[in-house]
Amino acid sequence: MRTIEWDPKGTVKMIDQRKLPLEFVVVEFDDYRDVARAIRDMYIRGAPAIGAAAAYAMALAAGQSGATTSESLLADLRTAADVLGATRPTAVNLFWALNRMLRAAQGSQAPDVKGMVADLIEEAKQIAEEDIEINRRMGAYGAALVEDGDNILTHCNAGALATVDYGTALAVIRTAHEQAKRIHVWVDETRPRLQGARLTAWELMNEGIPMTLIADNVAGHLMRTGKVDIIFVGSDRTAANGDVANKIGTYKLAVLAKENGIPFYPVVPTSTIDLSVPTGDDIPIEERSAREVTHPGGCQVAPDGVQVLNVAFDVTPHRYVTGIVTENGIAYPPFTRSLRQMVEA
C-alpha cells in the first residue's frame, strides 16, 4: 500500500514507521489532532509524506468542523493549520500543503459547507497523486546520472516511506534498477533514529536492489578507498541559494564527497524549495527529545542525567552540492537562478 492514503469512509490510513522493519502496522485516524500527533511522533516522516499527511489532516478538520457557514469553516481550518504547523518546523512541505489547503477552501465555489468539505478531500487526494508523479519524474532525471556498475551512497530514508509512494533519492535508485543498471547501494544507518537501517534497507531488500548497510562512520572510509561513485540524498527544505537542510549527518557526507571528487546530488521536489529563504542559515532546525539518543530502540546506552543535544537536521552549503534533481530537471550552479527556473516551470 501507499505510505498514506484516504479511506472512503472518511479516515486517513498510514504505515506506522516506528514499527518497521519488525512489524508492518497500518494505523487509522479520524481526527486531525491525531494526525498532528502522528507527524510529531514520527509515525510518518519525510518532507513529502508530511505534506500529504497535513493535507489529509486538513480534510479531516473540515469534516470534523460542524461549521454551518464558509466563514466559520475557514476559522476552524486556520486553527487546525496552527496545530499542524507546530509539529515539525524544518520540513517546508508541511507549510506548503497547509497553505494550499487553505487557499483551496477560500477559493471553493461549492454552494454550501458540505460541498467545501468534499472539495478539500479532493484537493488532498490531488496533492497525494501529484507527489507520486513528481517522484517518478525525479527518478527519471536522476537515473540519467547513474552509470552501469555504480556504487551509490544514500543517507536516512528518502524512499517510498518518505513520500506518498516511490521516493525522492530512492526514486533515482529504483529507476536505475528498473533500467537494468547494475548498481549497488551503501545505506547509512542514520543515527539516532536509524531510518537507514530500519526503513531504507527494508525498502531496498523488498525490491531486490543490491545494498549493504553501514555504520554512519564508515562512509568516509568508503569514499577514500574509491568505493563510492555518486551520492543521492533527500531534502526537507532547500534555500533559494541551493543550501540544503536534510537529516543530520548529510553535511559531513557532502564535505567528504567534495574532498574525494564524488558527485553529491540532493533529490528535491519543487515543493521543498523555499525561495522565501535566502540561505540555509535562515532555515529553522528542529531539536528532538534527548531520549532518542540515550535510549535508541528503547535500550538505554547513556548514563542517567547525561546532557544531550539532539539536532535533527543540518545544512549543507551549496558549494558542496553538484546539482539538485527536481521533477522539472536538474538544477546546477548558480542555484539562485536555476532553482527559481525549476520552481517557475
pLDDT at 79 over 80: yes
Q: Using CA atoms in the order 81, 82, 85, 89, what is the torsion angle rounded to 10 degrees?
A: 160
Is 236 known to be catalytic?
yes
Mean pLDDT confidence for 74-94: 95
* pLDDT tens profile 51-61: 999 999 999 99
- Check residue 256 and give its pLDDT: 98
Once rounded to an integer, what is the mean pLDDT over residues 178-205?
Answer: 98
Domains within the chain, CATH numbers bracketed: 4-135 (1.20.120.420), 141-344 (3.40.50.10470)
In the chain, pLDDT over 70 holds for what percent of residues? 100
Q: In this model, does residue 242 exceed pLDDT 90?
A: yes
The answer for residues whose C-beta is within 8 angstroms of residue 241's C-beta and 6 or more apart is: 278, 279, 280, 318, 335, 336
Q: Which residue is catalytic, options 119, 165, 216, 236? A: 236
Residue 93 has pLDDT above 80, yes or no: yes
Mean pLDDT for the chain overall: 97
Burial 76-107 (b: 16+ CB within 10 A, else e): bbeebbeebeebbbbbbbbbbbbebbbebbee
Cα distance between residue 116 and residue 97, in whole Å: 17
Tens-digit pLDDT profile for residues 267-279 = 999 999 999 999 9
* Whole-number pLDDT of residue 173: 98
Average pLDDT over residues 238-247: 98
Q: Which of 49, 85, 46 is nearest to 313 (CA)?
A: 46
CA–CA distance, 309 with 122 (Å, rounded to integer): 41
Over residues 195-210, the mean pLDDT reads: 98
Mean per-residue pLDDT for 195-199?
Answer: 98
Taking residues 41-45, what's their average pLDDT?
A: 96
pLDDT value of residue 330 = 98
Band of residue 76 on the pLDDT scale cut at 50, 70, 90: very high
**What's the average model confidence in pLDDT over 201-222?**
98
CB 231 within 8 A of CB 154: yes
pLDDT at residue 194 in the model: 97
pLDDT at res. 91: 87
Identify whether the C-beta of residue 39 lies closer than 8 Å to the C-beta of residue 154: no
Q: How confident is the model at residue 63 (pLDDT cuts 50, 70, 90)?
A: very high
pLDDT score of 105: 96
Residue 258 CB coordination number (10 Å): 15
Of the candidates 73, 165, 169, which has an alpha carbon nearest to the alpha carbon of residue 114? 73
The reported pLDDT for the residue numbered 297 is: 87
Q: What is the pLDDT of residue 39?
A: 97
- How much is the average pLDDT of 318-343? 98
pLDDT band with cut points at 50, 70 and 90 for residue 144: very high
For residue 1, pLDDT beyond 80: no
